[in-house]
Structure 1
Amino acid sequence: MLNNLVNKNDLKEVIRRVKSNPNLAGSIARKFFSTKNNRAIQAWSHVSAPQDKWWYIPEVISRWNYLITGDYNLDYYAYITEKYLRNEGKYKALSLACGTGSREIEWAKTNRFGAIDAFDASPKRIGFAKSQAEKENLSDIISFNVGNVIDVRPNESEYDLFLGEQSLHHFSPLNEVVEKIKYSVKPNGLIIVNEYAGPDRFQWSEEQVYYAKELLIKLPEKYRTFYNSVEIKSDIYKPGRMRMIMNDPSEAIESSKILPLFSKNFELLEFKPCAGTLLHLVFDGIAHNFLNEETVTKELLKMCFDFEDTLLTQKKIESDFIFVMYRNKK
């Protein structure tokens, strides 16, 4: 309807979410009277969340490790540190939309950074990030600050490294952010891109949705139960664009431009597709069912991984998630 501006499934999803958490009703209503910026901040003001997204599944994290580093047990922090960051305590990094600061804390633990300047528009998340840095005795390395990406004004060639980790797909106008990165990172400095780079506003292709549904129905019903609900996930669909804008106007706003824009402005050093094209859709809302150690759970996860890998190899789908290393050539 109207180029998927709205669709009937959006209403079903809202009803399902409110039934599982009645407190959401007020939050949803307030969004109709909020500005775009406030809606985006509201969408990302939480510091904890149900473990019902695919990134909470340990085997998914191990899979990312393998796709990026070639080793299921080697995470990409260690991989990048050993390959690109040889000098201990020497690097200064910039991070925009840092959220709760978990990634910045992991970087600080590598002992490669003298300073990490991190910004996020949510005061609540920055407050939480500061408290976590203090607990880890890393406050002398990481500076967490409240700041919108557009308002942050770094100095020219101030940073050795830019950390773009699941944040870039929330930025618009993206070309202005790229210019800011280019300006603030030193010549020959590094840019890390670990991102969702799929269709804007999750307007997935018909083939992608078709194969995601096919994979979903292969799972037993007990593994398709929504969080805090008895309802079974039985369908996958493209969210209406209006729902995306009302829920979080920053979500995947220019995600499809990330790879072309960064590749145009920076020198490509390394590119690794990280899949997720189907898993992102299939596990959404039901990932908590896959956090146990049961043998059948492990077998189902392997089945899901193999299904996605086969379609990627056959080029029937493309990877929506990417890891890329760039060098700043001014």
Structure 2
Amino acid sequence: MRLITLDDIIDTYAKLNQRGIHFITSKFSVNKIKRAKTAFNHEKIDSSNWWIIPKVKERWNTLITGNKDLDFKDFTVNTILKNKTNLKMLSLGSGNCCHELKFASFNNFDEILCTDISDVLLNNAETISKNKKLDNIKFEVQDANTFSFPEKYYDIVFFRASLHHFKNIESLIGKSVKEALKDDGILIIDEYVGANRLQFPKYQIDAINEAIKLIPKKYRKRYKLNFYKNKVSGSGIIRMKIADPSECIESANILPSIHKHYNTIYEASYGGNILMTTLKDIAHHFLNTNQANEEVLNQLFEFEDIYLKNHPSDFIFGIYEKPNNK
């Protein structure tokens, strides 16, 4: 376990330049919920992460659905939910609700409830839903850790990049969510399931640094900073707890708990072990691709593919059913 690292200092300086002094000072609140909320309570976050890269998104689609132009939402509706109607979905930790809004556009759904601790993001999503005349989606400011789950009410419980922020995973997944699902209900996740608190093992840090060496210097200039990314040391546990007490708090428990309490309908790995950290703060160089930077991305993709042959994926898309379905 790493307590404080050079990456902590660099990341704090980067956040100061990208999000301002108010964001930094907000992390000194003694209230854990308030500190966690500051990480998400913004309509737009100015940063440079792997998820902003179109080619990375195409890679996710390919690994999850087999088609670079087919995302997991269309895939789920066209396969698992085909011909199903009047569905009720609960989304916990919905964030900006972009995925839930897409689900709401399908006729399959009668009711979607989005919950999150960020009122700013939910208010913005509600405005979008009204503009799109979607009357089957609702929004509620609610901490998932204290949510009152109705018994056997939902056809689907959905987590997208949120489950790794929740504590007591075994109880949440094995009891609360399970009891809230109808007998034929399903659990859908699109999640980080890697090391708790991003405490990557040394061999993973070493592999990430090897990947960074594949990137020409001009693509390693950090976003809004005047220095370059040459290597990483990993996140320190102290900064992780201060910056967002909920970040990856029990992420390593997610898959074991799900596999213990549910049957797998569909599960796909899409990596992230190398790409997430390698591209952090330099992803903006790959927003618009050309022959040169696309070749770099392809080398990184191949590097991660080789790594994944011997290590479990840090990110998973999965669809699961309650055991009594059969």
Counterpart of 1:325 in structure 2: which amino acid? Answer: I
- Deviation string 1:211-238 (CA, Å, 9 cap, x unpaired) is 1111112111121111122221112122
How far apart are 1:250 and its partner, in Å? 0.6
- Deviation string 1:89-125 (CA, Å, 9 cap, x unpaired) is 4211000010111110111122211110110011111
Number of the residue aligned with 1:265: 261
1:51-70 matches, within 5 Å, as 52-70=48-66
1:246-257 matches, within 5 Å, as 246-257=242-253
The 3-state SS of whatever aligns with 1:204 is coil
Aligned match of 1:320 in 301, 314, 318?
A: 314
Structure 2 spans left out of the alignment, 5+ residues: none
Change (3 A) 1:7 1:298: closer
Counting matched residue pairs gives 323
How far apart are 1:88 and its partner, in Å? 5.4
The question of 1:156 aligning with 2:154 is answered no
Counterpart of 1:4 in structure 2: which amino acid? Answer: R
How far apart are 1:51 and its partner, in Å? 5.2
Aligned match of 2:9 in 8, 11, 26?
A: 11
Counterpart of 2:33 in structure 1: which amino acid? Answer: N
Aligned match of 2:44 in 45, 48, 71?
A: 48
Q: Which 10-residue stretch deviates more, 257-266 or 29-38?
A: 29-38
* Distance (whole Å) between structure 2 residues aligned to residue 121 and residue 323 of structure 1: 23
The 3-state SS of whatever aligns with 1:249 is coil
* Distance (whole Å) between structure 2 residues aligned to residue 161 and residue 283 of structure 1: 33
TM-score, structure 2 normalization: 0.95
* Distance (whole Å) between structure 1 residues aligned to residue 131 and residue 145 of structure 2: 30
Counterpart of 2:58 in structure 1: which amino acid? Answer: S
The 3-state SS of whatever aligns with 2:187 is strand
Aligned match of 2:172 in 162, 174, 177?
A: 177
Change (3 A) 1:147 1:264: same
Tell me if structure 2 keeps the 8 A contact 1:163–1:192: yes
Aligned match of 1:145 in 136, 140, 143?
A: 140
Number of the residue aligned with 1:35: 31
How far apart are 1:30 and its partner, in Å? 3.2
Runs of 4+ residues deviating >6 angstroms: none
Number of the residue aligned with 2:106: 110
Tell me if structure 1 keeps the 8 A contact 2:27–2:35: yes
Aligned match of 1:227 in 219, 223, 236?
A: 223
Number of the residue aligned with 1:300: 296
* Distance (whole Å) between structure 2 residues aligned to residue 305 and residue 259 of structure 1: 24
The question of 1:100 aligning with 2:91 is answered no
- Deviation string 1:111-161 (CA, Å, 9 cap, x unpaired) is 2111101100111111111111112211x1110110000222131010001
* Distance (whole Å) between structure 2 residues aligned to residue 97 and residue 304 of structure 1: 30
Tell me if structure 2 keeps the 8 A contact 1:88–1:111: no
Number of the residue aligned with 2:233: 237
Number of the residue aligned with 2:119: 123
The question of 1:75 aligning with 2:74 is answered no
* Distance (whole Å) between structure 2 residues aligned to residue 279 and residue 201 of structure 1: 17
The 3-state SS of whatever aligns with 1:275 is coil
Number of the residue aligned with 1:276: 272
Change (3 A) 1:89 1:276: same
Tell me if structure 2 keeps the 8 A contact 1:41–1:122: yes
Number of the residue aligned with 2:307: 311
Number of the residue aligned with 2:323: 329
How far apart are 1:87 and its partner, in Å? 2.9
- Deviation string 1:278-301 (CA, Å, 9 cap, x unpaired) is 001101111111011311111111
